[in-house]
Amino acid sequence: MNSSQAKEILLLYRPGTADAADPQMVEALESARRDPELGRWFEQHRAFQKAMRAKFQDIQVPAHLKSSLLIQGAAPPNLVAPRTWWHPRVLLVAVAAVLLLLGLAAVWLRPSVPDRFANYQARMVSEAQREYTMDLVTNDMRQVRQFVARHDAPANYYVPRGLERLQLTGGGRLTWRSNPVTMVCFDRGDKQMLFLFVMKRSAVKDPPPATPQVSKVSQMLTASWTRGDNTYLLAGPEEPDFVHKYL
């Protein structure tokens, strides 16, 4: 084990814990005893760790937290025995759930009709806010276009100059009322994402005008516009000059 390898292992050493029993750690500690330079580094690192640990222990817990928690848990349901599937109430709930699913399926499977842009906008924003998966993780826009084209989503979309300057992180294909939607994701540069959604204008009966319309939807800022056959919806965290910066 050379000095550099020993350092990497010793970096994870926490005084007074079981770390010292780890065979690799034992070897690294031995290296630190033999190598004066490494030993000095290790002593300094140990002191750093001790000081940092103390800072974390210094975090003050709000006085009201405990009482809030106790009020919340006044009746602990952890002592209630779990119900089995044949329990009459569970069966009743299961039947109700099946009926509800049948009802929902009937709604979902009805023929698609043009709908309001606002509904589409709200749905896409919620898509961006909740857990989603990019079908394709790439920095190459051509790959995104090829992917969405293969899945019948708009591939001839226009990317505004402001967005072109950002790093592309990937994209995917979503669906709104049976209409394919292209999603393109950009890294804004500060661990925040911007989402461009593109859908055929014919999918809504009130497509937005050609000039971008800015509105706030569920804590996100959106800009929506129509260009050619497509409607565009850009969604991202609130920030000044949203339109000028990205469109």
Partner 1 sequence: MAARSSYKEDQPRGELDFQGLVDLHYGLLYRFAMSLTRTESDACDLVQQTFLTWATKGHQLEDPSKVKSWLYTTLHRAFLESRRRFTRFPHLEITEATAELPSVEPDLVTRLDAQEVLQLLGQVDEQFQAAVALFYLEDYSYNEIATILGIPLGTVKSRIARGLAQLKELVLRKTSSRGKAQTGGA
Among 122, 134, 155, 243, binds partner 1 (CB under 8 A): 134
Task: Enumerate the β-bridge partners of residue 173.
Answer: 182
Shortest Cβ distance from residue 81 to partner 1 (Å)? 8
Which residue is associated with the tokens 């950002």? 166
Shortest Cβ distance from residue 55 to partner 1 (Å)? 4
DSSP 8-state assignment for residue 191: S
Compute, in degrees rounded to 10, the torsion defined by CA atoms 15, 20, 22, 28.
100
- In the complex with partner 1, which residue's Cβ is closer, 103 or 237? 237
Q: Which stretch binds partner 1 (CB under 8 A): 26-34, 60-68, 151-159, 196-204?
A: 60-68
60 binds partner 1 (CB under 8 A): yes
List binders of partner 1 among 166-205 (CB under 8 A).
Answer: 169-170, 185, 187, 191-193
Shortest Cβ distance from residue 129 to partner 1 (Å)? 4
User: Are 207 and 228 contacting, i.e. CB atoms less than 8 angstroms apart?
Assistant: no
Among 30, 34, 44, 96, binds partner 1 (CB under 8 A): 44
137 binds partner 1 (CB under 8 A): yes
7 binds partner 1 (CB under 8 A): yes
Shortest Cβ distance from residue 146 to partner 1 (Å)? 18
Which residue is associated with the tokens 């640990």? 53
Nearest alpha carbon to residue 198 among 126, 149, 246, 129: 149
238 binds partner 1 (CB under 8 A): no
User: Are 149 and 135 contacting, i.e. CB atoms less than 8 angstroms apart?
Assistant: no
- In the complex with partner 1, which residue's Cβ is closer, 77 or 240? 77
User: Are 176 and 190 contacting, i.e. CB atoms less than 8 angstroms apart?
Assistant: no
Among 23, 36, 37, 56, binds partner 1 (CB under 8 A): 56
Element of type H or E holding 157? none
- d(Cα 13, Cα 46) in Å, to the nearest integer? 8
18 binds partner 1 (CB under 8 A): yes
- d(Cα 44, Cα 129) in Å, to the nearest integer? 44
- d(Cα 12, Cα 46) in Å, to the nearest integer? 10
Contact footprint for partner 1 (CB under 8 A): 4-5, 7-8, 11-12, 14, 16-18, 41, 44, 47-53, 55-62, 65-66, 68-70, 72-73, 76-82, 128-134, 137, 169-170, 185, 187, 191-193, 237
